[in-house]
Amino acid sequence: MKSIKNFFKGLSDLQKRILFTVAALIVYRIGSFIPLPGVNASAVLHLFSGEGSGMMGMFDMFAGGSLSRMSVLALNIFPYISASIVLQLLTATSKSLNDLRKEGESGRIKINQYTRYLAVLLAVVQGWAVVRGLEVMAPVNGISAVINPGLAFEISAIIALVGGTVFVMWLAEQITARGIGQGASLLIFAGIIAEVPSGIAKVFSLGSVGQMSPAMIALVVAFVVGIIALIAFFEQAQRRIQILYPRQVMSNGVVNTNASYLPIKINMSGVMGPVFASSIMMLPAFVQRFVQSENLIVQNIMGFFTYGAWSYIIMYTVLIAFFAYFQTAVIFNSEETSNNLKNAGGYVPGVRPGEQTISHLDAVVSRTTAIGVGYLIVVCVLPIILNTHFGMPLMIGGTSVLIVAGVVLDTMNQVQSYLVAKKYTGVINNSAAHKGRFRG
C-alpha cells in the first residue's frame, strides 16, 4: 500500500489526470456490459441485427454497443445532451436564464443543475419507451425479450436505466473536472472506438466471402483516410485578424509597434453541432423502434425521419448548420471581444473601435462559420448519401470519424497546454529561487 501511495505521489498533475481519465473510461466500458435485469439479451440483439448502418446503429455505436446489449447504460449520455440543447436554446431566448448565465460561476452551476434535472426527466421518458417497447416486442425464435413482463419489471428497469444515465452524467463531469478533455465527448469517443474493430472485421469478412471486391474495400479505406485528412485540416484551420496596439517610443528613440492576431477557428463549434443534430435525429428513430404505432399519421411522421431518405438528409443538414451557428454564437461574443480590445488599447486596422469593430467581427465569424458548415456537411452528410443511395458499405459514419478526430485533437491541445503551463511555472520558480539566492 505504501509503494502505491509513493507511486501516485511521484506523478505530475498531468499524469494523474491522464490516469484518472483512463480509469474512468475503463469503468464506463465495464458498465456497458452489465445487463438490464429481466431482459433476454439474445432477443434484443436480434432486433439490432439489421441496424448496422441505420440511425439506431449509429445510436448503438455512440453508446459503445450498450443499447444492442440492453445494458443498464443503454440510454448513455444522450438524455443529458438533449437536456443541454434545450437549456442552451432557453438561455438564448429567456431573459431570466440569460441573466443567470451572466452571473458567472454561480450562474453556470445553477444552469448545470437545471440541465441535470431535465436530463433525469428525459431519461425517465426514454426509459419508459424502451421498457414498453421490449414488452410488446414480438418473440424471436419463441424467446420473448422480457422474461417476466409486468409492473414490477417496468419499475425496476426504468430505475436501472435512469440510474445508469445519472452515473454516466456524473462520470462525464468527473472526467471534465479531474481528467483530460471534455467528459461527454470522451465517453462517446470511447463507445465509437470500442465498436470500430468489429466494423473493420465485418468489412474484411465480407471481402473474404466475395460480397465486397478488393477494389471496393480499397475505395472505402481511401474515403475514410480522405475524411480523416479533411477533418485534421479544417479542425486546425483559422482566420487570423490583425490587432494593433498603440506605438511606444523607446528611450533610444525607436518607435515600437505592438501587433498580434485574433484567431478565429473555421469550425468554432467543434463536434457539438453534429452531436446535437444527431441527438435530435436519433429521437424519432428511437421512438419508432421501441414504440410501435399503427396510427397512419404517426407512421408518416416517422417515415419523414427514415435514415437515408432525402427528407432525413435535408433535416439533418439544416440541424447541423443551425447548431454550428448557434454554438458559435454561444462561444464567441463579438461585443465582449470588442470591449476587451478597446480596454487593452487594441484595434483592428482600418476599423473604428466600438460598433464598427463589433460588425466587422460578426461579419468575419459569419463567413468563417459558413465555410465550417460546408465542411461539416461534407463530413457528416456525404457518407450517408454514399451509403444509402450509392451502396458504398461504410461501416463507420462521417459523424463518428469527426467525433473521434475532434476529441483526439482537443485532448492533444489540452495536454500541450498543460505541458506549456508546467514549463512556464518551472521557469518562474527557478527565477524566484535565483533571486532569493542572490539576496542571501
Q: Round to whole Å and give the CA distance between 67 and 150.
A: 21
Range of the domain at 329: 10-439
Please tell me the predicted confidence (pLDDT) of residue 167.
95
Count how many domains the chain has. Answer: 1
- pLDDT tens, 346-402? 888 888 888 898 899 999 999 999 999 999 999 999 988 888 888 777 777 788 888
Percent of the chain predicted with pLDDT > 90: 20
Give every residue of the chain whose pLDDT is below 50, as ranges: 52-53, 438, 440
Query: Grid coordinates standing for 406?
Result: 475532434
Please tell me the predicted confidence (pLDDT) of residue 291.
58
Would 4 be classed as within a structural domain? no
Task: Using the structure block, give the residue that is written with the C-alpha cell 409492473.
Answer: 151
Return the exposure string of 56-75: e unless at least 16 CB atoms fall within 10 Å of the residue's CB, then b. bbbbbbbbbbbbbbbbbbbb
Give the distance from CA 366 to its chain's centroid: 22
Would 2 be classed as within a structural domain? no
- pLDDT tens, 330-354? 888 888 888 888 887 888 888 888 8
Please tell me the predicted confidence (pLDDT) of residue 175.
92
Question: In sequence order, what are the residues at sequence separation of 6 or more whose Cβ sits closer than 8 angstroms to the Cβ of residue 386?
Answer: 223, 392, 394
Query: Grid coordinates standing for 114?
Result: 437545471
Please tell me the predicted confidence (pLDDT) of residue 249.
53
Q: Round to whole Å and give the CA distance between 380 and 58.
A: 12
Please tell me the predicted confidence (pLDDT) of residue 257.
60
Please tell me the predicted confidence (pLDDT) of residue 163.
94
Please tell me the predicted confidence (pLDDT) of residue 432.
56
Query: Grid coordinates standing for 422?
Result: 508546467
Give the distance from CA 307 to its chain's centroid: 20
Question: In sequence order, what are the residues at sequence separation of 6 or more whose Cβ sits closer than 8 angstroms to the Cβ of residue 396?
Answer: 61, 192, 196, 199, 224
Please tell me the predicted confidence (pLDDT) of residue 438.
46
Query: Grid coordinates standing for 164?
Result: 445508469
- The residue among 272, 274, 259, 268 whose CA lies nearest residue 239 is 268
Q: Round to whole Å and give the CA distance between 29 and 37.
A: 18
Would 398 be classed as within a structural domain? yes
CATH number of the domain at 65, please.
1.10.3370.10
Return the exposure string of 149-164: e unless at least 16 CB atoms fall within 10 Å of the residue's CB, then b. beeebbeebbebbbeb
CB 24 within 8 A of CB 175: yes
Would 5 be classed as within a structural domain? no
Please tell me the predicted confidence (pLDDT) of residue 120.
94
Would 1 be classed as within a structural domain? no
Please tell me the predicted confidence (pLDDT) of residue 286.
67
Q: Output DSSP code: residue 301.
A: H
Would 130 be classed as within a structural domain? yes
Would 190 be classed as within a structural domain? yes
Q: Round to whole Å and give the CA distance between 212 and 206.
A: 6
Our CA dihedral for 278, 283, 286, 288, rounded to 10 degrees, sits at -120
Please tell me the predicted confidence (pLDDT) of residue 440.
45
Q: Which residues pair with 242 in a beta bridge?
A: 261
Between helices 214-236 and 183-208, what is the axis angle to 10°? 160
Q: Round to whole Å and give the CA distance between 361 and 348.
A: 10
Q: Which residues pair with 240 in a beta bridge?
A: 263
Question: Counting every residue, how long is the chain?
Answer: 440
Q: Round to whole Å and give the CA distance between 265 and 250.
A: 35
CA-angle at 134, arms to 148 and 67, nearest 5°? 120
Would 3 be classed as within a structural domain? no
CB 35 within 8 A of CB 71: yes
- The residue among 369, 373, 334 whose CA lies nearest residue 354 is 334
